[in-house]
Amino acid sequence: MSEAATFDKVRIGLVSVSDRASSGVYEDKGIPALKEWLTRALRNPVDWETRLIPDEQPVISATLIELADTAKCNLVLTTGGTGPALRDVTPEATLAVAHKEMPGFGEQMRQISLRFVPTAILSRQVAVIRGQALIINLPGQPKSIAETLEGLPTAQPPVHGIFAAVPYCIDLIGGPYIETDESVCKAFRPKSAQRPLPRGT
């Protein structure tokens, strides 16, 4: 039995929102960047649901509903469409399908990005819960995606990435128990919520 087989299976939706990438003008880099980071960070086996869609608010909302309600994703990560440009409507589409807002995720992403560029204050990423799915808007650039998920562990003082809080959030909404590779991202849970590692890990 492989190590992954001893961990809960997780279903993750990855959504890249881009007019040009969805129409084939250029290659999408968002979904590969998300999958690469998550593959390194997670010890659980993952079922992936990927969607490449244009910057159309009804399409984005419908995609998020489908991934949460029909595909039963535990986690949905979007990339793209979170700036102030006229076609950037991912946050509006995400809030439209929310049962609960989780503002701390967006606040922390902007804090991380402000370490690099003053224009981070133009980012409008939001996170919400719909049913038993956590939906998070991430930046569009692969480097920024990794920074916001992983944080800046070598900074002084260190800056926590947002993914450290994701497993416990998913616990609280009734999802699977997510384990991370601590060399990439150490998940934080209160001691009362921690499970012993499966045997042989």
Q: Which residue has the tokens 């991934």?
A: 67
Comparing CA positions, the residue from 36, 31, 65, 69 lying closest to residue 50 is: 31
* Cα 132 to the center of its chain, rounded Å: 14
What's the pLDDT score for residue 1? 40
Contact of 127 with 137, CB cutoff 8 Å: yes
pLDDT for position 93:
98
Cα separation of 36 and 79, whole Å?
14
Q: Where exactly are the structural domains of the chain?
A: 3-193
Three-state SS across the chain?
Answer: CCHHHHCCCEEEEEEEECHHHHCCCCCCCHHHHHHHHHHHHECCCEEEEEEEECCCHHHHHHHHHHHHHHCCCCEEEEECCCCCCCCCCHHHHHHCCCCEECHHHHHHHHHHHHCCCHHHHHCCCCEEEECCEEEEEECCCHHHHHHHHHEECCCCCCEECHHHHHHHHHHHCCCCCCCECCCCCCCCCCHHHCCCCCCCC
Q: Which CATH number is correct for 3-193, 3.40.980.10, 1.10.3720.10, 3.30.930.10, 3.40.50.970?
A: 3.40.980.10
Sign, CA dihedral 170-176-182-183, equals negative
Rounded CA separation 161/109 (Å) = 8
Stretches where the chain sits below pLDDT 50 are 1-2
pLDDT of residue 201: 55
Please tell me the pTM assigned to this model: 0.94
- According to the model, what pLDDT value does residue 3 have? 52
